[in-house]
Structure 1
């Protein structure tokens, strides 16, 4: 005989006046959490009560109903209604939907309260993202959604962006196949196909950290802080159809410009427009480029223009600015700290006065017709116009009496040797080189890299020699004595002692911005302003210099002849550089470096991905980290791919003073900066370098600097 299924009876529901309800002490919720009572009250006022209260009759001493009802489940809703009653927005006798429990039931009030709070399934973050998206599609604005759910507008934008990720990736996230942080990283790009491609490339890889996903999604883009982007302007780029990728979840420095080709075209077009305007001035030639290599004007004669005189109105403005500056200085003399507005005003005055000092220059029309201009983009994204350079072939012929009585052209000097540029394929701003074989062989540095490194050293050595006249004099005398006593051929008149300027056929992109380059250029410009153009006047000026100035000028001129470049040798005994000549050159360069006290670290050279680490093998990278930070630091990155290894090595080597062999002094200990004990490194490494996932999780929970995740709460 079959057993009859027992039927259940649900508790009845009815409306009970608000003033007949009281809170129960059986409610298990004690700690405030979630939406505040104030926000819940506003939500009830807007949309009404979505869920009734769970109540039980209040019994007297004889177990008879008193007409009052206590609330074991729904206390927060009751307090929100109570707030509305106090604000007179809800009547005291307003009916409240309630589910009334039978007092004879065997279920405790605490049981009901606990069940109502524990058996609710929290909403998956993805459902919330999609719900926000649905509200947006149905006409609600981002501000309206934010107001309805009591969250900042930026949170709504973040969650809408998360909902716009590829449906395939959203399903993966819903099935716990990726973390919320990884999903956030994919919002950088709106290209679903590219998002899925990157996920396929990283899902089975050990390196699928959010930063790696962002890097792969933006590897072919251009930073908004790039000088080309600043020069063109983000508005102009977007007006031309360009797309700017933004990261709503962390600082992105203005974002990324997706179409690099479009940006280059816009930059070239704007430079061309600027060049067309400058061409109206009558110059013979104008060279236009995004940037020019260091020393690009070598071999060209620079015209000495005449600064335009200051007008009466400009002088009056200058006097007024100086008077205002002096008044502010006197007013706040002795103050520990200037008010922000005063400090800002002083800075504005200093900038304005500096602009007046940089006077426009006038050139002789006869010079303009044979001279040219370099037009490029400065490091800060502004237009850089360098006027007034005459090529040797454009010089006006100067006749002198030759031995046969005929006129001969004057010697105008050798033109500058062209810079040799190499094609470098880059992705994300880093050179693309194939992964090295998994061996530990330390291969020789590439010749091209050694030439670039020694170009840095040559420039730094020139700067050091120019600041040490004693060494410069010794070097010059050594050269002259060698010429005089070692039977070397000497062509020309009674005495020839010349410095042949050495050009850099290979140079890295950062050479022209190095501290040495800036120091050499500043010194050259400082001397140039004082040197007369006329030959006889130049002789008289030099003759009148004091000994200190003569020595400084000598040191500066001699420094231009320094050649510490490593170059390929001629293996076939031709007219090129021999192996013996190279060794002699580098040996003398080491001697000069010791005499000048040259330190390439103090000269400003630091190992980066671009100038060294991205150009050498993984074994070389590990060797550098091992020398500078010890064996353990090297072991922590030896499992990384080359691009990531180079990036981490740059961070580890920062401020260690480590130098590659071509930049070290001859007697330097190559392992001086390494930890001789091979002990623990104090360097704080990124979490992905650790294999202990539990430890990483613990660190994430206790790190006070970790930004709070507000995209899904």
Structure 2
């Protein structure tokens, strides 16, 4: 049966009450109710209520010629009604605020209408929220204002704005459930839409679906596509003129999609140089100007923001807008049976012209003269590869406020939006403190873990304890891990993905050879196709063979970590201390594997801490590549000519950051500069290097008798020993008493204060 045409009436708020047929009985969530109130206050009622007129014998209308009714019962829209009533009590709305309502007749089932209105609805997709919030932010609306308008937290707005850095095609894929939210977040590691789409085209074909981890890895690969924003900004000609090389795909279309820039470091240097030139020009107008290659939303959020003064429309623009809006109202009120395609085209053209006028007025917005004395700007690269200037940024120290004397600093606080504190990233903090970039950490984590695996394979007790710990956590802990023992076993890789096919990595990672040389395991029982027979054969193995098999199997699942990483597992570090691994013996830092991949300041800090301040000062003017080679020679097994035995001993005892158990990775003498997310390239400095890394520099013999004194005392080896002892003290003895291990002995077999100390086997001498 067809329903009658809906009747829309404007009814005073004071005459509306909730109908008993309204199906929504559960009280509204306070946060959602506050959000609804904020939306109505900011945008008005966007969806009419559905009401049933009470039987008063009067027409349920309030239009011309209609007698106003006494009461209407709201069948659908109870939350909206409650929100408007609350706003009226707060004085935001008038008590008789007109409310658009659809009036249903007695022939319609009010309960069914209420149920349909509440059930047949779809919540706004997060991707649509991202687009909406990003559009408001781009038009100059602050985070706090967006949050207030929609009744949500500023934190939610910030999260949605950061996702606004994803390409529109990626948001469409997220809407279509082709990726999850974590994967979408991974794409925001770069603001370059071309790079994002290149990675998406690669991962979306994976049979098991894309993951955030894969996306992040691919977005940090070495080569840079020529369609990326930074490549277009620099240009092929300028890049090649600076000595850069290109990789071209001869089978690709003859456009930038088949070209890659091979040297991202050079490319970024050229981009930064070009941006600095632009910033120098901008400094002539603004208080300050900075060059930032990639300035995403989080990079801008730390500044206050001044918006330009809006421009008023001209008399001609006002007149045209009034005429266009009048015609717009006529078209909106056109009956459906009179609507034609021509009218639809006219409406589209009319809306386009209105937008054009608004954009022209907005483009004339200008900053005040005193704004240039307070604020600055950032010169960066837009998505299209062109120069983009973000203006009106106020540093935290320049934010308007009162001085100690009680006077303002001359700026109007009401015109400056406050900055938002950037979220804390513990991994970035550790990278800054240790000077270890992402790629170097990946390599060092793999090198360290393969050595630990080799040692753990030969220690049943240590392997058993690790497994028992995880089994017990899985069985009894509230947050147990998930796999007849429901525990997952996954073999871990011995190399980071980026080094999977890197031939030289085996030379960097001696643990690979150590694992390959382990004695053969008893695996013949696995050849039985009958599982009962296979299990019986395994049970019949000698105890020693079962222990070796157990330890080797546990070893293969060990997850990699460096001691200083924020999520490093303490049981891993305690096991490393228990295994008493001499990492310094197995891994010596080479120029290409380590020294060239940390900053020059950190190299010199390590040199001062091990080889002595005189040795380091004598080489402070070296170019970084020459300094790296000098450090490789000084830390090698065979000492270079002129290096004192004591200094060389300190160098040989030094271990790579994060290798020793519980190592913080910090060097006290190091500078506070923030290391790049990837390894820095060689940096040129004043001064010429000698013909050899040690030949023309002052020898340690010339440096004085105390040149290497800093190598003594609390050496890295001593610190490792102390941490190992602390770990063992935490392990109870067989009789349940506390273990007390002291450090005051000259050798592992010596007496402590004239008595035999409780020294564990792994600390005793041979």
Structure number with greater Rg is: 1
Q: TM-score normalized by structure 1? A: 0.36
Q: TM-score normalized by structure 2? A: 0.34
